[in-house]
Structure 1
């Protein structure tokens, strides 16, 4: 595997072009006092675009992000961008963190030092991790697939290959949003390598085996299914279009930074634990840094592909199929509909389930300290039998057939 250091370097020409487009934004008329009820609030977006154009300092964000140890790995035709922060402690456990949509590796910026060097952040050095944060294919600085067929299942195979290339035979996995799907497939496909699985969201497509020979649905499980269906009806239009006709949407968002900001900001406002005031939990600088990554790399369209590809292979299990590594779940109060523990235990080896006090869908950004503490606690008893040393070589094994 060819691994090379990577530095973010957006050109001055790209910055000039962005500002020119922002200044020429064509605003749409809206209903008075509609707020966020019909999509992105007009007043918020105008303020966000004005801040982006006049006060947001991309060079400062770029400089800060470049303090993270970033690399690219070439795996066949696929280039994967990733952060690899070695742990500081007596025996760091390798951990691969996977982000989701509409996030990026930037989601993990605040939590990386808390996990890699807990001793410097009020924790125990014994809980240190070697932290690996890849950018999903077609996100940020990872190349976009040029052919059909790269969904969460296949990304899990890339992650296993990446960890092999970095010298980690056994490792931990954590994720939310698409990161939960990728991490679940990673644990399912490579149970001998994944020491434990921690999720702060369950894959939206997850279905355990159901039918006459399976336990009947409990009242709690049926309520979850009803709630999920109602949520999809009211809030799921974005997923439908991104999973069916993503290219049509991509043309507009890839050409208009204001349109891109509206599409992404609405999800951050809706899915975070902010009581309707996004800046209470995520600053405009943090929000725009994430949006700018999509803009400068031109990856909004390629980021949609996971929605389309996942429909071909959803996280469905049949009788006898189980995710074997231990699972820990952090359930944040403002998260999208989450299943009850009994629903998850039908296919997973649930060992820890924690109801968190605050936070929503973007937990690593909203509540990095709380999530880091929960990740440390879950993996603490799983460390002893881990093989933590780097590999000299490891033979690749075929993935199980599902």
Structure 2
């Protein structure tokens, strides 16, 4: 159960630098085919193709028609966000979505960074690849793979990318400059969904490792949160060469009864549904944009700060703009991927989770972890060391919750640079 809570509650900050092969236990680097039908006899097309996010008036008109027909149930008096998304505030979201949100403008923002697709194991894998606009003096940009989770997307990283690719222009030391690759997990956003059962975090880790090799990177750093942290852990277990994770533990852990109750009961209902019958709830969410928004945005409220459930508006606009929140929703809506994204839970956790090989396996590569205080469950340094045997950086972050890259991009960027500095001085 602890690993289950860790996966769903802790924003894992995981960064790896691949060097010499370790003799520790590793996961087998196998192969797979997730496209429709049997694997074709011809070699897979390994070309990398430019991709552009597009929209149409028809798509937007259909969205607005569905929003207009939404049926809203009034909330209980003084219920705030204790019963889930407060429908009084949902009306404000709907009004903004219909009358002020400009999807075409947001598509232009999405296309600000270069997008690409490439076929790997039968699936079209989408990613953005952002290089520094200017070659840094005295150093080569470090490749950094950043992996999102649920209910996020590659868009989570748009605010942190400038801190990593142009640190000097954003008040950071330019000792560490990165070129950033942000893929969409298969079945999320613009990455094709699997046609077959079984595409789990290990298969995704293998696909992303192949992606980085295809881009010409034998050595690279990786950062991930939520599912991204597990995928990054699996990459370290597939090709273990070097791995990065992040009186205060007591403050963040207690009261234990409240923490465990809140994490396991109040915040895990969605997980049990998605681990067992993701397609059922997926039918409803894929048909109703308003239902989809309520389902996802509730997580952006309570997973950012548990105290936000006491507010009528869920505190959403204290940390995020409505444009950013709705852009993330639109990436699920326009691609129709909410159901396939939820299947990732069943493929990973719909069986005896603790019996899975990679969950029993230690990670023996240098690791760094960022502990954000508003995560649902705090993970002390001593706990992490049971699995991540070379924890070289553990940071108590001053603020932030589950969606740290979007909520606190500068803090996370600084901690990434801190880890890289520690690692390179070893």
Whether these two folds match at TM > 0.5 is yes
Residue pair 1:187, 1:323 contacting (<8 A) in 2 also? yes
Q: Does 1:184 align with 2:205?
A: no
1:268 aligned residue: 300
TM-score, normalised to structure 1, is 0.85
Query: What's the CA shift string for 1:270-319, capped at 9, x where partnerless?
Result: 11148521101011111000001110000000110111111147476799
1:196 and 2:243 correspond? yes
Residue 63 of structure 1: SS of its match in structure 2?
A: helix
Shift of 1:119: 2.2
Question: Which piece of structure 1 moves more, 8-17 or 229-238?
Answer: 229-238
CA distance in 1, matches of 2:93, 2:331: 16
Higher relative contact order (CA 8 A, sep 6+): 2
Matches within 5 A, 1:312-327: 312=351, 314=353, 321-327=361-367
How far did residue 123 of structure 1 move? 1.9
**1:231-266 deviation digits (Å, cap 9, x = unpaired):** 212221000001101010000000000000000010
The equivalent of 1:173 in structure 2 is: 222
Q: Does 1:285 align with 2:285?
A: no
The question of whether the paired residues in 2 share the 8 Å contact of 1:221 and 1:343 is answered with: no
User: 1:136 Cα deviation (Å)?
Assistant: 0.6
2:144 alignment partner in structure 1 = 95
Task: Give the C-alpha shift of residue 175 in structure 1.
Answer: 0.8
1:242 aligns with 2:282: no
- 1:337 maps to 377
Alpha-carbon deviations, 1:23-53, whole Å to 9, x = none? 1111113312211110101111111011101
Q: Could you report, residue by residue, the CA deviation over 1:54-107 in whole angstroms, capped at 9, with x for unpaired residues?
A: 110111111011011111111131111101112442211111100111110010
In structure 1, the residue corresponding to 2:245 is in which secondary structure? strand
Residue 15 of structure 1 is matched in structure 2 by 60
Match of 2:336 in 1: 298
Partner Cα distance (1:55, 1:171) in 2: 41
Quick check: 1:308 aligned with 2:349?
A: no
Aligned to 1:350: 391
Q: Describe the superposition over 1:160-215 as per-residue Cα deviations: whole angstroms up to 9, x where unpaired.
A: 100000000011111111111101111121113xx43236xxxxxxxxxxxxxxxx
SS at match of 1:354: strand
In the alignment, what sits opposite 1:31?
A: 76
Match of 1:105 among 141, 145, 154: 154
Aligned residue number for residue 364 of structure 1: 405
SS in 1 for 2:175: helix
What's 1:396 paired with? Answer: none
- Give, in angstroms, the shift of residue 116 of structure 1: 1.7
Select 1:254's aligned residue among 267, 286, 301: 286
**Aligned residues of 1:247 and 1:301 also touching (Cα < 8 A):** yes
Q: Whole-Å Cα distance in 2 between the matches of residues 122 and 19 of structure 1? A: 41
Residues in 2 aligned to 1:118 and 1:335: alpha-carbon distance in whole angstroms: 27
Q: CA separation in 2, counterparts of 1:68 and 1:347?
A: 36
Q: Distance in 2 between matches of 1:319 and 1:268?
A: 27
Which of 180, 184, 204 is the matching residue for 1:131? 180
What is aligned with 1:45?
90
The count of residues paired between Structure 1 and Structure 2 equals 364
Q: Secondary structure at the match of 2:182?
A: strand
- The answer (yes or no) to whether the contact 2:245–2:391 under 8 Å persists in 1 is no
Structure 2 residue runs without a partner (length 5+): 1-45, 309-314
1:117/1:128 contact within 8 Å kept: yes
Moved more, 256-265 or 226-235: 226-235
- Counterpart CA distance in 1 for 2:410 and 2:187 is 29
TM-score (norm 2): 0.81
Distance 1:295-1:320 versus aligned 2 partners, 3 A rule:
closer
CA gap 1:133/1:314 in 2 versus in 1, 3 angstroms: farther
Tell me the secondary structure at the aligned position of residue 196 of structure 1: coil
Kindly tell me: are residues 319 and 44 of structure 1, through their superposed partners in 2, closer, same or farther at Cα, counting changes over 3 Å? closer
